[in-house]
């Protein structure tokens, strides 16, 4: 290989990968025996290269592409294109702390016709995933502990001193227990939704939906919460339907309108507006504006993250799981749309774009 006048051999390339690659590299022959291993694998497993070379790859790595030993002698099976794509494996470490790790397998040919496999262990990605998982579990534990502490505390009080509490105190304590149990249920429901979204197991039934009817249905459901706010709709006649799942569209609208109510002061206005865009393919744009304190510019990029909540007095006094906007964005994207936010003091606007169902497209889908 000649690059800009330099002659580079395959040995040079492999030596560089061996010495400097942060990800692990394993080369195995047609029988699954490891014939080469780089320094990153040694650092990760605590095994010298001499201990790794000569071992069968199944002694170091478990994943779906490794054949059953009894049937195929532990050879690496790359029967389909899917087998060569990034997928999950488990690195078997001597200390018993097996490590989930993304891997790929690529077939290697040689001049004499023998075949081998290059296995890449994505150590950096595994580390990032493990850290994200640890932070997620820590945050969930904290979020669960708060309502559980209240439930346990007030239940203990009723059990211990119930006969000394008057009826009003008992009702108040039981009301607190119910409110915290409801909060706990909402958190569990949100966590399940996040799990299904990330595992792509959430089912969608896509059809043409009247946006105006969907908005008014959500507003009716939120009227009790909006008693101290004015809700204004600007929904022009003749809007085409949207292509969406009815339940998921309602969840998106509910999350955004509910947030606008919760995070803006009483006696302010929440405005829900929609318009047809002339894009190809066509979209409907839905905007929800509130007159709250606004979102600082440095936090705008964070608000769609899991467990993201602003640190200001209005947010602190309002219960929430910090998952609503993450779920909302995930649902919008899953429906083929997009979501954005602009904010300044006394004006925050969330804008959602959802594919429109024009008469031509409805007819085309009907023929399909």
pLDDT tens-digit map of 71-126: 344 445 554 444 567 777 788 776 666 777 788 888 887 655 557 888 888 876 66
Backbone phi, psi, residue 312, to 5°:
-145, 165
- Rounded Cα distance between 190 and 179, Å, is 17
Which strands sit side by side in the sheet containing 61-63, from one edge to the other? 34-37, 24-28, 115-121, 99-109, 87-91, 61-63
Q: Are 15 and 30 in contact (CB under 8 A)?
A: no
pTM of the model: 0.58
pLDDT tens-digit map of 37-55: 888 888 878 888 888 899 8
Residue 68 burial (CB < 10 Å; 0-12/13-18/19+)?
exposed
Q: Are 298 and 311 in contact (CB under 8 A)?
A: no
Q: How many residues does the chain have?
A: 368
- Rounded Cα distance between 20 and 16, Å, is 6
Residue 216 has pLDDT above 90, yes or no: yes
Domains 2-121 and 206-367 share a fold: no
Return the H-helix or E-strand segment holding 163.
none
| CATH classification (class only), 206-367 | alpha beta
Residue 312 has pLDDT above 60, yes or no: no
Residue 253 tokens, joined: 């609208």
Domain ranges within the chain, ordered by starting residue? 2-121, 130-194, 206-367
Average pLDDT over residues 360-364: 62
Pairing relation of β-strands 24-28 and 115-121? antiparallel
Residue 316 has pLDDT above 50, yes or no: no
Backbone phi, psi, residue 60, to 5°:
-115, -25
- Rounded Cα distance between 244 and 332, Å, is 9
Residue 70 has pLDDT above 50, yes or no: no
Mean pLDDT of the chain: 79
Choose the weakest-confidence range: 42-46, 70-74, 176-180, 286-290: 70-74
Helices (H), 30-166: 39-45, 49-52, 69-72, 123-161
Determine the topology of domain 2-121 in CATH.
Answer: Beta-Lactamase (3.30.450)
Q: Tell me the pLDDT band of 319, cut-offs 50, 70 and 90.
A: low
- Which CATH code is given to the segment(s) 130-194? 1.10.287.130
- Rounded Cα distance between 240 and 93, Å, is 58
What proportion of the chain, given as a percentage, has pLDDT over 70?
75
């Amino acid at each position: 290989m000649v690059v800009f006048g330099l002659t580079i051999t395959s040995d040079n390339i492999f030596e560089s990968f061996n010495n400097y690659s942060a990800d692990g590299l394993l080369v195995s022959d047609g029988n699954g025996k490891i014939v080469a291993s780089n320094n990153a694998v040694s650092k990760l497993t605590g095994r010298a290269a001499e201990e790794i070379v000569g071992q069968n790859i199944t002694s170091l790595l478990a994943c779906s592409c490794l054949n059953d030993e009894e049937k195929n002698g532990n050879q690496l099976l790359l029967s389909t294109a899917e087998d060569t794509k990034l997928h999950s494996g488990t690195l078997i470490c001597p200390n018993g702390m097996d490590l989930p790790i993304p891997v790929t397998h690529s077939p290697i040919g040689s001049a004499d016709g023998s075949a081998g496999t290059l296995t890449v262990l994505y150590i950096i990605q595994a580390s990032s995933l493990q850290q994200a998982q640890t932070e997620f579990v820590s945050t969930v534990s904290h979020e669960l502990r708060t309502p559980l502490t209240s439930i346990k505390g007030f239940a203990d009080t009723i059990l211990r001193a119930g006969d000394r509490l008057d009826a009003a105190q008992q009702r108040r304590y039981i009301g607190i227990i119910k409110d915290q149990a409801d909060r706990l249920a909402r958190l569990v429901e949100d966590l399940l939704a996040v799990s299904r979204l990330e595992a792509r197991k959430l089912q969608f039934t896509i059809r043409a939906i009247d946006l105006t009817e969907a908005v008014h249905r959500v507003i009716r459901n939120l009227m009790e919460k909006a008693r101290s706010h004015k809700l204004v709709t600007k929904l022009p006649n003749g809007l085409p339907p949207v292509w969406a799942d009815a339940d998921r569209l309602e969840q998106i609208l509910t999350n955004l309108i509910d947030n606008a109510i919760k995070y803006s002061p009483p006696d302010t206005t929440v405005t829900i507006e929609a318009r047809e865009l002339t894009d190809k393919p066509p979209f409907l744009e839905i905007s929800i504006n509130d007159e709250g304190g606004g979102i600082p510019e440095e936090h705008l990029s964070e608000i769609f993250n899991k467990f993201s909540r602003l640190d200001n007095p209005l947010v602190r006094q309002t219960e929430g799981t910090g998952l609503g906007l993450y779920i909302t964005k995930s649902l919008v994207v899953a429906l083929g749309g997009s979501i954005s936010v602009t904010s300044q003091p006394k004006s925050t606007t969330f804008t959602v774009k959802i594919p429109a169902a024009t008469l031509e497209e409805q007819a085309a889908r009907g023929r399909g």
